[in-house]
Amino acid sequence: MQVNILIYEDNDNLRETLCCMLELAENYRICGAFGQCMEAEQQVKELNPDVILMDIDMPGMTGIDALKKIRSFNREVQILMLTVFDDNSNVLDAIYAGANGYMLKKSISDKLVPAIKELLEGGAPMSPAIARKVIGKMQELPGGTPQDYHLTPREITILRSLSQGNSYKMIAAELYISIDTVRTHIKRIYEKLHVNSQIEAVSKALNEKLV
């Protein structure tokens, strides 16, 4: 199945490199590549990508602001944030805005294609340094009082499996259901928890002791 990829990166050389890398990979098609994201809403609606690679620091509008705008109308597209820096504020802002993964640009050459594959399988790829920062920040948060989000037993099972790092494919196999059924359950979990991404859902589940 062909995967349509939309790229937002203001560095012309890096944007061209990303396009070349992905065009050489099997089943990937670049449906658009732009140096700024001021028109991201219209472009995403018109091009209907499966995956978006989003730089954080861009002229006119930041990648995080574009991410928030995209998530206001599309929760399905997989969005991988790309950045030179791994500072806590950008990482957490992107996660809370609905990013599915977060990668340092220095890791792109050998980790981008596997990261996109992981995204499409329901994972949440991150550079190791970023993952450590996210875990560290989660551990700093005070434990919240459990709230009743009216999750069903099946939804709790799936949320627990997500928190263990399992992909949609692995959850489907474990529960003997289809990947589409897993996606439907996860969409409902996001709606009940008022979150936009797997990372945010897992963070909330762990912090509030839901699993």
Residue (of 199, 200, 194, 188) closest to 155 by Cα position: 188
On whether the CB atoms of residues 211 and 170 are closer than 8 A, the answer is no
pLDDT of residue 138: 62
pLDDT tens digits for 73-123? Answer: 998 899 999 988 766 678 778 888 888 888 888 888 888 999 999 888 888
Helices (H), 141-194: 153-163, 168-175, 179-193
Q: Both tokens of residue 160?
A: 């627990």
pLDDT of residue 122: 82
pLDDT of residue 87: 67
Per-residue pLDDT of the chain (211 residues; tens, 9 = 90+): 799 999 999 999 999 999 999 988 888 999 999 999 999 999 999 999 999 999 998 989 999 999 999 999 998 899 999 988 766 678 778 888 888 888 888 888 888 999 999 888 888 888 766 776 666 666 665 555 556 888 999 999 999 888 877 888 889 999 999 989 998 999 899 889 888 777 778 878 877 778 7
pLDDT of residue 63: 94
> Hey, what domains does the chain have and what are their CATH numbers?
3-138 (3.40.50.2300), 142-207 (1.10.10.10)
pLDDT of residue 144: 52
On whether the CB atoms of residues 63 and 37 are closer than 8 A, the answer is yes
Q: What are the DSSP calls for 78-123, one per residue?
A: EEEEEES---HHHHHHHHHHT-SEEEEGGGHHHHHHHHHHHHHTT-
